[in-house]
């Protein structure tokens, strides 16, 4: 019975300590956490968990672990607030995934992001076609921020009292230099037609195309392979 009471006391103390530490560090939303913050939180939870199940560890040991790790996190936060140059090293920074309508391949590779994942992130911003995007930034917390091209910015058609038109979804025909034959077949398009479209826009080979998107009634939207070079977002 005494061991259970000790575990109860240790658990309650650990819970309250983590709660207080979270309030002190000012973490309000999971979506605001950087990778460093996320890993720090996991390690802190692991340290407390190990202390709770260690028969030789009591409240003093748990308090020491929480205080030590919390102090390290707090010092890191203070450093990043006072010394701007350390933010890039400790927290990372936003970077262009799309720059002036072009996909930046090496940034996507660095973030382990493929075109399908990028499209999924864009849909959370109500963007359903890459042709609508002028700039897209990959934020340090893994989310994406989007600036649309002028023709796709507000006001919308309802604001302008324009009659609604048929909605057509964009379809990916080329992804990372490879033809998506299932999508080509679904749209009743042929490989010869695709090559003709590429040739009209001065592309000789499919391998030269990073991404190609088809939308009914519009010209094939093509993005070539482009590296980041100096397209770096200055935070």
| Residues 105, 211 within the same domain | yes
| Residues 109, 219 within the same domain | yes
If pLDDT is split at 50, 70 and 90, which confidence band does 192 have? very high
Would you say residue 229 lies in a domain?
no
Tell which of 38, 62, 89 closes a domain. Answer: 89
**Residue numbers of the domain that contains 53:** 2-89
Does the pLDDT of residue 104 top 60, yes or no? yes
Instruction: Between 35 and 60, name the one with better pLDDT.
Output: 60
Residue 5 pLDDT: 65
What is the average per-residue pLDDT within 86-100? 73
Would you say residue 235 lies in a domain?
no
Residue 28 pLDDT: 42
Tell which of 39, 74, 89 closes a domain. Answer: 89
| Residues 47, 13 within the same domain | yes
Would you say residue 231 lies in a domain?
no
The DSSP element (H or E) to which 67 belongs, if any, is helix 59-82
Spatial neighbors of 58 by CB under 8 A, at least 6 apart, are 6, 10
Out of 10-14, 43-47, 186-190, 207-211, pick the least confident. 10-14
Tell which of 38, 67, 89 closes a domain. Answer: 89
| Residues 129, 217 within the same domain | yes
What is the average per-residue pLDDT within 202-212? 91
CB 41 within 8 A of CB 11: no
Residue 32 pLDDT: 52
CB 132 within 8 A of CB 168: no
* pTM for this entry: 0.54
If pLDDT is split at 50, 70 and 90, which confidence band does 29 have? very low
Q: What is the DSSP letter of 190?
A: -
Q: What whole-number distance in Å separates Cα of residue 20 and Cα of residue 66?
A: 10
| Residues 135, 165 within the same domain | yes
| Residues 74, 124 within the same domain | no
| Residues 181, 218 within the same domain | yes
Residue 30 pLDDT: 46
Q: What is the pLDDT of residues 30-52, one digit of tens each?
A: 445 566 666 666 776 676 666 66
Q: How far is CA 144 from the centre of its chain?
A: 5
| Residues 179, 216 within the same domain | yes
Q: What is the pLDDT of residues 122-179, one digit of tens each?
A: 998 989 999 999 999 888 777 888 988 888 877 666 666 666 666 677 899 998 889 9
Q: In sequence order, what are the beta bridge partners of 147?
A: 135
């Amino acid at each position: 019975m005494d061991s259970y009471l000790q575990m109860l006391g240790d658990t309650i103390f650990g819970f309250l300590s983590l709660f207080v530490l979270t309030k002190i560090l000012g973490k309000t939303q999971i979506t605001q956490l950087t990778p460093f913050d996320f890993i720090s939180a996991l390690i802190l939870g692991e340290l407390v968990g190990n202390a709770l199940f260690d028969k030789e560890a009591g409240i003093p040991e748990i308090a020491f672990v929480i205080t030590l790790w919390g102090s390290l996190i707090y010092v890191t936060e203070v450093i990043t607030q006072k010394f701007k140059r350390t933010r890039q090293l400790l927290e990372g920074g936003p970077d262009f995934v799309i720059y002036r309508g072009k996909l930046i391949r090496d940034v996507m590779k660095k973030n382990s992001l493929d075109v399908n994942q990028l499209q999924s992130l864009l849909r959370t911003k109500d963007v359903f076609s890459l042709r609508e995007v002028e700039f897209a930034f990959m934020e340090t917390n893994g989310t994406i921020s989007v600036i649309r091209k002028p023709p796709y910015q507000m006001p919308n058609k309802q604001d302008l009292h324009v009659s609604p038109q048929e909605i057509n979804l964009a379809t990916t025909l080329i992804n990372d230099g490879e033809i998506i034959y299932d999508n080509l077949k679904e749209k009743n398009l042929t490989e010869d037609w695709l090559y003709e479209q590429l040739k009209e826009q001065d592309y000789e080979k499919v391998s030269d195309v990073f991404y190609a998107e088809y939308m009914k009634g519009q010209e094939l939207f093509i993005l070539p392979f482009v590296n980041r070079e100096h397209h770096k977002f200055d935070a």
